[in-house]
Amino acid sequence: MSAKLKTNSPRRKGPKAGNAKPGPAVPPRWRTEVERVLIAEEQIARRIKSLAREIERDFRGREMVVVSLLNGTVMFLADLIRHLNLPLRLDFMGVSSYGLGMEAGELVFTKELRLDVRGRDVLLVDDILDTGKTMSRVLPKVQALKPRRIKICVMLDKPSRRTEDITADYVGFEIPDLFVVGYGLDFAERYRNLPFVGVLHPHVYQQACQRVCQK
Ligand code: IMP
Ligand code: MG
pLDDT of residue 213: 61
Q: 82-112: per-residue pLDDT in tens?
A: 999 999 999 999 998 876 667 777 899 999 9
Burial 6-26 (b: 16+ CB within 10 A, else e): eeeeeeeebeebbeeeebeeb
pLDDT of residue 106: 84
Q: From CA 55, how far away is CA 153, in angstroms rounded?
A: 9
Q: 172-203: per-residue pLDDT in tens?
A: 999 999 999 999 999 999 999 999 999 999 99
Ligand 1 atom 16, closest CA: 130
| Nearest-ligand number for the alpha carbon of 99 | 1
pLDDT of residue 21: 73
Determine the distance separating the centroid of ligand 2 and the alpha carbon of 47, expressed in angstroms. Answer: 20
| Nearest-ligand number for the alpha carbon of 18 | 1
Ligand 1 atom 5, closest CA: 130
Determine the distance separating the centroid of ligand 1 and the alpha carbon of 60, expressed in angstroms. Answer: 30
pLDDT of residue 12: 64
pLDDT for residue 32 is more than 90: yes
pLDDT for residue 3 is more than 70: no
Determine the distance separating the centroid of ligand 2 and the alpha carbon of 184, expressed in angstroms. Answer: 9
Q: 136-149: per-residue pLDDT in tens?
A: 999 999 999 999 99
Mean pLDDT value of segment 123-132: 98
Q: From CA 14, how far away is CA 7, in angstroms rounded?
A: 19
Which residues have their alpha-adjacent CB atom under 5 A from ion ligand 2?
A: 72
For residue 204, give the 3-state DSSP assignment: helix
Mean pLDDT value of segment 148-162: 98
For 6: left if phi > 0, alpha if psi spans -120 to 50, otherwise beta; the answer is: left
Cα angle for residues 132, 99, 90 (degrees, 5° grid): 55
| Nearest-ligand number for the alpha carbon of 186 | 1
Residue 58: Cβ within 10 Å count:
16
Mean pLDDT value of segment 114-133: 97
pLDDT of residue 1: 46
Q: Which protein residues touch ligand 1 with a CB less than 6 Å away?
A: 72, 104, 126-134, 179-181, 185
pLDDT of residue 20: 61
Tell me the average pLDDT of the chain. Answer: 91
> What is the band of 31 on the pLDDT scale with cuts at 50, 70, 90?
very high
Q: Which of 128, 136, 155 to mutate to test the pocket of ligand 1 (most atoms within 8 A of CB)?
A: 128
Q: 67-83: per-residue pLDDT in tens?
A: 999 999 999 999 999 99
Q: From CA 117, how far away is CA 203, in angstroms rounded?
A: 45
